[in-house]
Structure 1
Amino acid sequence: MTAARLRLLRLLSAGGATAVTALVLLHVLGTVVPLLSAVATGRLINDLSGAGPVAASAVAVVGLLFVDQTVWLVRDLVAGLVVTRVDGRLRATVRALTAGGLSLDVLESTGFGDRAARTVDNGRGLGRRRSPGAAAAGQLAVIFRMAGALGATVLLASYFPLLAVLLLAVSLVARMIVRRQWVGLIDTLDADLLGQRRLFHLSELAVSDAAKETRLYGLGHWLAMRFRAVGHATYGPAWRQLWTVLRRQWITLILVTGAAAAALAVPGRAALGGSLDAGQLVTCVLAAWAIFRITAMGPEAYDIEYGLRGSEAAAELVRAYGRKSGQLTAVPDRPPVVKFEDVVFRYPGEPRAVLDGLTLTLHPGETVAVVGENGAGKTTFVKLLGGLYRPTSGRITVDGTDLAELDVARWRRRLSVLFQDFVHYPMNLRDNVALAAPEFSGGDDAVREALERAGAGELLAGLPDGLDTSLWQRGAGGQDLSGGQWQRVALARTLYAATAGRRVLVLDEPTAHLDIRAEAEFHERVVQRVDGVTTVLISHRLSTVRPAGRIVLLSGGRVTEDGTHDELLALGGDYARFYTLQASAFGGPR
């Protein structure tokens, strides 16, 4: 535990040398001033009895009181600054880790989720936040509080040594008991982090993407009842334990009451016997009160235990998933040869393999269409290509190098992917397009060109503020788009990335929200005008992929047919059957 507390103190280095130095000096003043006040107050009492000049003693007491209150106010401000900086540094580290090269199977794992939850947990349920910065500042405060108690013990021991030692021992025992009782609540809360995440997702349903259906189907009452049930299941054990802790406070109450009685009785008896004057009596009582201050479990004591687990969780994330420099192969800038070599993949916890022996080569500069029935593994293929998951067995190579050995973050900067469930970013149109390649400085001309190539020229012309139009439907003044319009914006985002130098272009169901006319123009407007890249088209609408130079059919988790449209029709296999069915349904040509 001592090592953990030292790690907390080391976190303070992120708070800035000036701020941390100021905080330490303020704590030193906050420790010394109460002791000086006890002595000065005792002297003032004696001076009021005619033993000395009252004015000087009064000025000393008032001055020390002013300094004490000023230190208290300024210390909280400085501590808040240090806490914010420490938490900001830690959260930036975790954000960089999670937004980097980690695969989705890691991000979706329970172990990663629990650690991440402990790192950023806001303490909802007991009114505490899991702040490593607050824990570090709290540890510093406790150290000086202990130092103040030891100083007060020394002061009281100059009059009553045995009483001073007794009060310090009782105070430490009472603090230990209280700490053990209250800190045990954290273990109870940490036992059900999954429940806490469920509560978060339930609360999001009513105000996010499910808001329309929640209201349309009258799910408000059901949602409220479900939230209440999960809340009781998640926090019920902690609430029950809290009630148990409150009922056991009589133990510390007896200890502290007995010690307080002794702190008053012993000096009081000495004063009545004439061996202690009034000023010394006041000094002894104030010194005893300063010792008792360590029994109080202030917010910093709880913050230490709660935030300590957050900092440890963050450290575990960095140790387990932090990238080691110098171990990853660079990624070539030219269009690569990508090979899937007998790749098998199953999602964590799933017995069935989605891809089962997939072998496929993507040659530089070609346009390949990947088709198949729903569940054939087309989208999983894209996720593996992007390094979002790693194969269960087999391997994926880029110019002969295993993808697992590449710098995944750099590899992804060579990809431009339009997912089927693309994101509607709550920002203006310009940023919705340019986010695909933030490192590219093509300016507004490149954004407009990408929108034009995606067939969104009319959309741009009709927006009130052009590229500056906010597409945040929940924000004031924001404008939402239709499904087809969002599809064109997403296409423009992908094409903008290709212009920025992305060498592998992946389009997953790129015409799902487009009408028949727009779909017919898609290949000519988009695919044929992309030069110097390898293009992968994924679609269940075979009319979209018909012009592709090469079509592969996935079935049973592997490639079962591979060729041009005419070659696959002549083969008379599953592709020919699927195409004939779709053509007859829509009256299209064979």
Structure 2
Amino acid sequence: MDEERVDSVSLRVAARSEKKSLGRLSSLVRMSLSLVWSSGRSLFIALVVLQLVAAGALAGQVLAVQAVLDAILGAGGVDAVVRPALLLAGLTAVSMIAAGAQGQVQRLLAELVSRAMWHRVLGVATGVGLRHFESPEFYNRLNRVQTSALSRPYQVTQGLLGMVGALAASIGVGIALVSVSPLLLPLVVIGGVPILLTSRRESRLEFEFSVRQTVSMRWRQYFTVLQTGRDEAKEVRAFGLAPWLLRRFDEHYGSYLDDLGRHVRRRTVLMVLGQVGSALVLVATLLVLVWLIARGDIGVAGAGAAIVAIRMLATQVQSLFRGVQTIFESGLFLDDLNGFLALGEAAREEDSGDEAPSGFLEIEASGVHFRYPGSETEALRGVNIRLGAGEVVALVGENGSGKTTLAKLLAGLYEPDAGAIRWDGREIREFRPSSLRERITVVFQDFVRYALPARENISVGRVDEPTDELRVRQAAAAAGATSALESLPQGYDTILSRLFSGGRELSGGQWQRVALARSFYRDAPLVILDEPSAALDPRAEHELFSTLRDALHGRTALFISHRFSTVRGADRIYVLNEGEVVEEGSHEALLAADGRYAELFRLQSDAYVARGGKAGESAK
């Protein structure tokens, strides 16, 4: 929480230090225009054209009003009024049609820009190293980007388009107003200054509010997931958690609403001050107009046109300054967005080096240390292990001993803080990380159960190639998943989830076999299996490990297990305790050594016997 508060303060300080300079305005506009142009250039051009058409129609309405009034006050009769009246009606219709079309075009363009931004954000989220996912601040930044910053690039462009339209309309209406009286134009323009001054403070308030609410919003989202998630639904009902979860949700939502109320009041005060200041200038402008009429400098028709022009111009000037506010308010969010996207740039720069070899004779970890971000203790402390080509190597140990952490480092998902991991004598940090991961397949205990057809649940093991139906079935057979999948209503085309129509759910053991099939389909030289038999019954577990070597087809396997009976056939067993390798050897050698492995093995055997099992089966 301290880290989150420090980041929140630093962001707000940075926001206060931002200046509304022309250089910053230019930078924001260039970045946003580039994104919008690449997302939908034809729609952008259409919007600009519609803005200019609407501006021209608006300026024309002022002159048409004056023409109508001249015709009414003149002696030309009804016929003289018809033409300017039709012109006024036509220009009004064009203005309304252009405004309506703008709304529809903007909606489509906004979605195109949003998709482009999602591509960038998701690229960062899937490309950065796993260390970022150990940091609460990374989730805070991701949440802010998802909830606000994604729409801001388009809002900058929208603000710019609004400014262009308002400026074009202001010039047109201003020319018409100058033709009535040059003195009125500067007064109307000055009327937008109070709004510009208050909008600067409003922009900062909005960004500061968003930053303050990041953590609260994440908590609300979390308690929403707990009450709506499929996996959580069973426990919520079994423990009667619904009222308690709703109260926790309300606590965070209530805090947000209290802060929102204060925020809205502050923005409202600023908005009122700006509008009152603008209204006072408008009153002064109208008083000047009355004075000019009283002096006889402006006729009745000119006065009518001037009133319309003043009202239109005041609105356009306000729109112009609101566009400036939109750009700078969005700019504060875009700075946060750019900081997040920079993480992806760094990740792409880090994905460099030599291509990893297609195979190896030996993988060695020597003196490996690792500590998770924010943790005070090391998860691994000077670990040394070795895997030879074609070997089956096992990691065993109690929970928290560092088995899965070591597997993640060997898989190239983390880098060690000290020590080295080498493939045939070369440190893996010399290889391009993504190419190294292509040579490794990992099935973690908490593997993903994709709500996709069975075929795709297996073929995701190698998505860089077209799905090979024969390989899918061979991988399923190697993992013992064939009978379960072929018995589904649509076979391999059946969606493995009831979240979607026609889907079916698998048992835990069946899912584990699908995950194993996924690893075999990848066909990588190193296979890492984290508790591959955790959801299997004893018979299925025995069948899996008795056929594991055949299924591997000469590939190297590192498997983690807390069941000591499953590791007896491994070529070598490493025993981890509190982040250190305390023993290594074959099953028989470790039993003969009568150390920690033998102690834990006997404890499991005794527990098995106590449950009514056959001691001989566990103790062999």
Fold-level similarity (TM above 0.5): yes
The answer for the alignment partner of 1:206 in structure 2 is: 227
> Using a 3 Å threshold, how does the CA distance of structure 1 residues 93 and 189 change in structure 2: closer, same or farther?
closer
Query: Which of 82, 96, 107 is the aligned partner of 1:69?
Result: 96
Q: Percent identity?
A: 30
**Residue identity matched to 2:91:** L
The CA deviation at 1:375 is 0.5
User: Mapping of 1:435-446 within 5 angstroms?
Assistant: 435-446=460-471
- For residues 19-46 of structure 1, give each alpha carbon's deviation from its aligned partner in whole angstroms, at most 9, with x where no partner exists: 2222222222222221111111211221
Matches within 5 A, 1:453-492: 453-492=478-517
Aligned-partner residue type, residue 507 of structure 2: S
Pick closer, same or farther for the CA change 1:136–1:369 going to 2, 3 Å: same
Partner of 2:163: 142
> Which one of the candidate residues 106, 129, 137 is aligned to 1:103?
129
Deviations 1:305-334, CA, capped at 9 Å, x for gaps: 554344333322333441138842212222
Q: CA deviation at 1:345?
A: 0.9
Q: Determine the C-alpha separation between the residues in 2 that align with 1:291 and 1:546.
A: 86
Which of 377, 380, 397 is the equivalent residue of 1:352? 377
Deviation at 1:536, TM superposition (A): 0.5
Distance 2:357 2:329 in 1: 46
Q: Quick check: 1:389 aligned with 2:419?
A: no
Question: Which is further off, 28-37 or 533-542?
Answer: 28-37
Distance 2:325 2:480 in 1: 58
Deviation at 1:344, TM superposition (A): 1.0
Which piece of structure 1 moves more, 64-73 or 449-458? 449-458
Cα distance in structure 1, aligned partners of 2:39 and 2:322 = 20
Q: 1:292 to 1:442 in 2, by over 3 A?
A: closer
Greater Cα offset, 347-356 or 315-324:
315-324
From the superposition, tell whether residues 92 and 433 of structure 1 become closer, same or farther in structure 2 (CA, over 3 Å). Answer: same
**Which of 55, 67, 70 does residue 43 from structure 1 map onto?**
67
Q: Tell whether the 8 Å contact from 1:105 to 1:389 is kept in structure 2 after alignment.
A: yes
TM-score w.r.t. the length of structure 2 is: 0.87
Please, which of 116, 124, 147 is the counterpart of residue 142 of structure 2? Answer: 116
SS of corresponding position for 1:140: helix
Are 1:174 and 2:195 matched, yes or no? yes
Q: Name the CA shift for 1:98/1:152 in 2 (closer, same or farther; >3 Å).
A: same
Matched, 1:27 2:57: no
- Equivalent position of 2:11 in the other structure: none
Distance, in Å, in 2 between the alignment partners of 1:10 and 1:375 is 49
Cα RMSD (Å) of the superposition? Answer: 2.5
Which of 387, 400, 404 is 1:375 aligned to? Answer: 400
Does the CA contact (< 8 Å) of 2:411 and 2:437 recur in 1? yes
**Which residue identity lines up with residue 187 of structure 2 in the other structure?**
L
Partner of 1:57: 84
Q: Which residue does 2:349 correspond to in 1?
A: 324
Q: 1:83 aligns with which of 110, 113, 117?
A: 110
SS in 1 for 2:551: coil
Corresponding position: 1:290 with 2:312: yes
Pick from 330, 335, 345: which aligns with 1:312? 335
Distance of 1:199 and 1:301 partners within structure 2:
33
Whether contact under 8 Å (1:183, 1:302) holds in the other structure is no
Deviation at 1:506, TM superposition (A): 0.7
Q: Deviations over 1:220-268 (max 9, x none)?
A: 1111111111123345323212123324544234323323323433334
Q: Report 1:188-587 matches (<5 A).
A: 188-208=209-229, 209-293=231-315, 294-295=317-318, 304-305=327-328, 307-322=330-345, 323-324=348-349, 327-335=352-360, 337-498=362-523, 502-586=524-608, 587=615
CA contact (8 A) 2:351 2:433 kept: no
Quick check: 2:166–2:319 contact (8 Å CA) kept in 1?
no
Structure 1: unaligned runs, 5 residues or longer: 124-128
Are the equivalent residues in 2 in contact too, given 1:120–1:310 (CA < 8 A)? no
Distance 1:448 1:250, change over 3 A: closer
What is the CA deviation profile of residues 143-200 of structure 1, one whole-angstrom value per residue up to 9, with x for unaligned ones? 4324433443443234333332122112122233145236512212212312221211
**Quick one: distance in 2 between partners of 1:375 and 1:541?**
15
Q: Is the 8 A contact 1:430 1:467 kept in 2?
A: yes
Structure richer in helix, relative to its length: 2
Given residue 176 of structure 1, which amino acid in structure 2 is its aligned partner? L
CA distance change for structure 1 residues 438 and 226 in 2, over 3 Å: closer, same or farther? same
Q: Is the CA contact (8 Å cut-off) linking 1:446 and 1:496 kept in structure 2?
A: yes
Aligned in 2, Cα 1:285/1:18: closer, same or farther, shift over 3 Å?
Answer: same
CA–CA distance in structure 2, aligned partners of residues 183 and 29 of structure 1: 34
Call closer, same or farther: CA 1:451–1:178 in 2, change over 3 Å.
same
Distance 1:309 1:327, change over 3 A: same
Structure 2 vs 1, CA of residues 442 and 61 (structure 1 numbering), >3 Å: closer, same or farther? closer
The CA deviation at 1:270 is 3.2
State the shift of 1:374 in Å: 0.8
Work out the CA distance in 2 between the residues paired with 1:442 and 1:9: 39
Deviation at 1:297, TM superposition (A): 9.3
Please name the residue that 1:126 is paired with: none
AA matched with 2:191: V
CA distance in 1, matches of 2:271, 2:551: 76
Change (3 A) 1:166 1:264: closer
1:589 alignment partner in structure 2: 619
What is the identity, as a one-letter code, of the residue corresponding to 1:390? E
